[in-house]
Amino acid sequence: MQFSRADFGNEFHWGVSTAAYQVEGAHLADGKGLSIWDNFVQKPGKIYQQQHANTACDFYNRYKEDTLLIKELNIPNHRFSISWSRIIPEGTGRVSRKGIDFYNRLIDYTLACGVEPWITLYHWDLPQALQDEGGWTNRRVVEWFLNYVSICIQNFGDRVKHWIILNEPMVFTGAGYFLGVHAPGKKGLRNFLAAVHHAALCQAEGGRLIRQLLPGATIGTTISCSHIEPYRKIDKDVLAANKVDTLLNRLFIEPLLGMGYPVNDLPVLKRIDNFMKPGDDERLAFDMDFIGIQNYTRELVRHSYLTPFVQAKIIQANKRKVKATVMNWEVFPEAIYEVLKKYSAYPNIPKLIITENGAAFPDEVVDGNIADGERVQYLNDHIKQVLRAKNEGVNVGGYFVWTLLDNFEWAEGYYPTFGLVHVNHNTQERILKDSGLWYQAFLRRGHTLK
């Protein structure tokens, strides 16, 4: 099936996404405070080859060069995040004028290039000073977060129309406060449930504050979504898949929609009551203008009585001998269609926007070029599935590629390369990949594969 950009309509938002800690570098420049990731990367054995993002893609100094690349690629929207500790070094209190000035320069230059900025307020880099006070497990994080949001709106709201509250709260609470594999490296159910509840409160309260301070803003938040299926068609695997779906896909969207936490399908969530206060049920709900859907793959789940709380185990792609990315995520384009259909079925769900989708494949520079045909095929096939959902009536209003540059991919370091643009992290040389050229051509004249 051939398709084109025109098939999505003139109001569809095409873009690319990045995140501050993954690209900016300059981790101590101009008085920036330390974030939990600046601290976490120093811990032995946590990051692939002990890599870090102290320099990353040097976007702090090269934002003009990289924004011109976005313009060259015909990409009309750039989703990027603010580093909380760059503008408020200790998380609360003193505001860094130099940090504010950097984001003003970035926003102004982005707009001057004809690119629309979409700001993500929290993309995982909590100020370390706040983590020292308990971070997301401390209920005061709601107060700290709202102060940070108000400073962002006061300084950038005159030019920025699109605001995203949180990036993938299930990931930063689960990986950071239950499994300990991401910053700040905490473990345990109590840490996890406290962080979940406080993040869910910030998700809604942040939206309310922006609506109050900037009534014309378009406000959303992003949810990490995987299409979940049972490994076998037996009752135990079906039940296990339902529990994993509840945890990964429903935990943050349902309280936001006023449905409360999905405790019936995952009873361990009832323990979140330990962190609830009177009125919290109402405070968890907010009418977003859009929900950001971030999908990369599907997961197959089987029953596992050894796994605490969920009695479920995800069967990895390499164990199933299916085509997979460097991240060992199955290449399954229909997953993005399935999650769009799933979320669109919620009553009163707002517009859906794909705020992240992309793939890491091995890239090789040959004669100054990178022929990343697998990534081209991945993007083509996933965009086609978005169109399929749209044609079936799903209110989907945008698609953002993850990501512009080969950046720091958290615990995996620089090994997985998701970018449309290759970055040599020794020289900071940029090379436009074939996937970038494909996206450029698609956005210009609707170039697709069969």
pLDDT in tens, 239-262: 999 999 999 999 999 999 999 999
b/e burial code for range 248-277 (CB count within 10 A of at least 16 → b): bbbbbbbbbbeeebbeeebeebeebeebee
* Candidate list 24, 168, 299, 330, residue with the active-site label: 168
Asked if 359 and 366 count as a contact pair (C-beta separation under 8 A), the reply is no
Q: Is 168 annotated as catalytic? A: yes
* Degrees to nearest 5, angle at CA 393 with 324 and 383: 30
* The pLDDT of residue 203: 98
DSSP class per residue in 383-417:
HHHHHHHHHTT--EEEEEEE-SB----GGGTTSS-
Asked if 194 and 275 count as a contact pair (C-beta separation under 8 A), the reply is yes
From the list 199, 202, 214, 90, the residue with the least C-alpha distance to 155 is 214
* The pLDDT of residue 67: 99
* Candidate list 205, 330, 356, 409, residue with the active-site label: 356
User: Which residues in the chain land under pLDDT 70?
Assistant: 450
* The pLDDT of residue 98: 98
CATH of domain 5-215+316-334+349-445: 3.20.20.80
Give the Cβ contact number of residue 234 at 10 Å. Answer: 12
* The pLDDT of residue 449: 78
Round to whole Å and give the CA distance between 248 and 242: 10
